[in-house]
């Protein structure tokens, strides 16, 4: 097995260019500005949680998949990270359920 | 082409039956475990943020404009980090050093914002001993700030190595690992900004 088959050899395998990284940065900034703008719209107060958690999830995914290269790297890296993330989310939900936060 | 050879050399150093780079895999395992660390703190904060018997309460003291600025700075530092890595991988040393320094500088600026925020809160009567909101808020954001501080030290160390011995393209994994850590700190802040600041600043979030 040649070293070129090493699965995390990736730097020329479709990674974004510097310009694309800047574009991603602009998108992240725009989403943050949107979050802050929504915060001051009283009419949307009843759906704030859904909007904020949704936009936060989008930002999270963009950084993880593009800046951290999970989209381009071996799936085992994603597996280790998302298992940890899933367990963390489960801890949050379990603690809140057990201690009556819902 | 030189780029690919550098990556292959990098992988040769850590070849194994999984064909994965073990240093990178270990970093991902660490980041996965760190999710649990922050998950526990975020859960604790969400449970107790509205259980304080005395003020100040979240919606009275949290400042969205200030925190939005620090969030923008941390997001920009992530962009600088990924540009630094790209430059290192392409062997563009001067650009790589510039972006690495920019990342560390923006990290320091973020820490400056956090120090300012903590100082303001203490001035306004909120300390970790004041109430449950204070205890959980300072613990969560304090540990995140500690992570940022470690990242800044790591970045300045890499910059020092780059200035003295140089970091060739085949050693760019050293920068990539620091980048993974830095981006993780960024995504944790994305969650904290939403849960601790945006959702907690709403008047309806208080039950006191």
For the cut 70, the answer to whether the pLDDT of residue A57 exceeds it is yes
For the cut 80, the answer to whether the pLDDT of residue B81 exceeds it is yes
CB B86 within 8 A of CB B173: no
B128 to chain A, closest Cα gap in Å: 22
Query: Given an 8 Å threshold on Cβ–Cβ distance, is A83 in contact with B32?
Result: yes
CB B200 within 8 A of CB B58: yes
- Band (pLDDT 50/70/90 cuts) for residue B103 is very high
- ipTM of the complex in this document: 0.85
Q: What is the pLDDT of residue A13?
A: 56
In chain B, what residues touch A48 (CB-CB under 8 Å)? 198-199, 202
Which residues, including other chains, have CB under 8 Å from residue A34's CB and lie 6 or more apart?
A: A55
Q: What is the pLDDT of residue B147?
A: 97
**Which of A81-95, B11-25, B190-204 shows the highest mean pLDDT?**
A81-95
Per DSSP, the residues of A77-97 read HHHHHHHHHHHHHHHHHHHHH
- Band (pLDDT 50/70/90 cuts) for residue A10 is very low
CB B206 within 8 A of CB B39: no
Q: What is the pLDDT of residue A96?
A: 85
Q: What is the pLDDT of residue A2?
A: 37
Helix (H) or strand (E) holding B98: helix B93-123
For the cut 80, the answer to whether the pLDDT of residue B206 exceeds it is no
| Residue from A4, A35, A46, A89 to probe the interface with B (highest B Cβ count within 10 Å) | A35
In chain A, what residues touch B186 (CB-CB under 8 Å)? 63, 67
Instruction: Report the candidate in B40, B39, B11, B36 with the shortest Cα–Cα distance to residue B25.
Output: B11
Mean pLDDT of B73-96: 94
Q: What is the pLDDT of residue B196?
A: 92
Tell me the per-residue pLDDT of B105-147, one tens digit each, with 9 for 90 and over: 999 999 999 999 999 999 999 999 999 999 999 999 999 999 9
For the cut 80, the answer to whether the pLDDT of residue A78 exceeds it is yes
Which residue of chain A comes nearest to B192, CA vs CA? A56
The domain ranges of chain B are 22-201
**Domain covering B22-201 in this structure, CATH number:** 1.20.120.80
Q: What is the mean pLDDT of chain A?
A: 85
For the cut 90, the answer to whether the pLDDT of residue B5 exceeds it is no
User: What is Dmax (Cα atoms) for chain A?
Assistant: 61
Mean pLDDT of B69-85: 96
């Amino acid at each position: 097995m040649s070293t070129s088959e090493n699965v995390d050899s990736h730097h020329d395998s479709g990674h974004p260019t510097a310009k694309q990284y800047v574009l991603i940065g602009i998108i992240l900034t725009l989403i943050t500005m949107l979050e802050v703008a929504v915060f001051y719209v009283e009419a949307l107060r009843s759906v704030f949680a859904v909007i904020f958690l949704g936009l936060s999830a989008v930002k999270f995914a963009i950084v993880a998949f593009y800046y951290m290269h999970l989209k381009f790297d071996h799936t085992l890296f994603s597996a280790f990270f998302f298992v940890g993330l899933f367990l963390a989310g489960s801890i949050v939900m379990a603690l809140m359920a057990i201690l009556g936060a819902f | 082409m030189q780029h690919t050879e550098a990556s292959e050399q990098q992988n040769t150093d850590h070849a194994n039956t999984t064909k994965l780079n073990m240093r990178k895999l270990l970093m991902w395992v660490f980041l996965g475990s760190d999710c649990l660390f922050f998950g526990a703190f975020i859960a604790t904060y969400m449970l107790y943020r509205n259980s304080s018997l005395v003020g100040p309460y979240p919606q009275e003291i949290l400042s969205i404009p200030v925190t939005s600025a620090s969030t923008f700075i941390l997001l920009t530092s992530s962009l600088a980090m990924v540009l630094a890595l790209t430059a290192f991988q392409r062997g563009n040393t001067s650009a790589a050093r510039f972006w690495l320094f920019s990342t560390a500088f923006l990290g320091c600026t973020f820490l400056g914002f956090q120090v300012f925020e903590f100082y303001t809160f203490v001035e306004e009567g909120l300390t970790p001993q004041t109430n449950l909101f204070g205890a959980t808020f300072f613990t969560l954001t304090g540990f995140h700030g500690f992570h940022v501080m470690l990242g800044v030290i790591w970045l300045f160390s890499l910059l020092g190595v780059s200035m003295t011995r140089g970091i060739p393209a085949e050693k760019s994994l050293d920068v990539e690992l620091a980048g993974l850590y830095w981006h993780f700190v960024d995504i944790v802040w994305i969650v904290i900004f939403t849960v601790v600041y945006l959702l907690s600043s709403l008047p309806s979030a208080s039950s006191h």
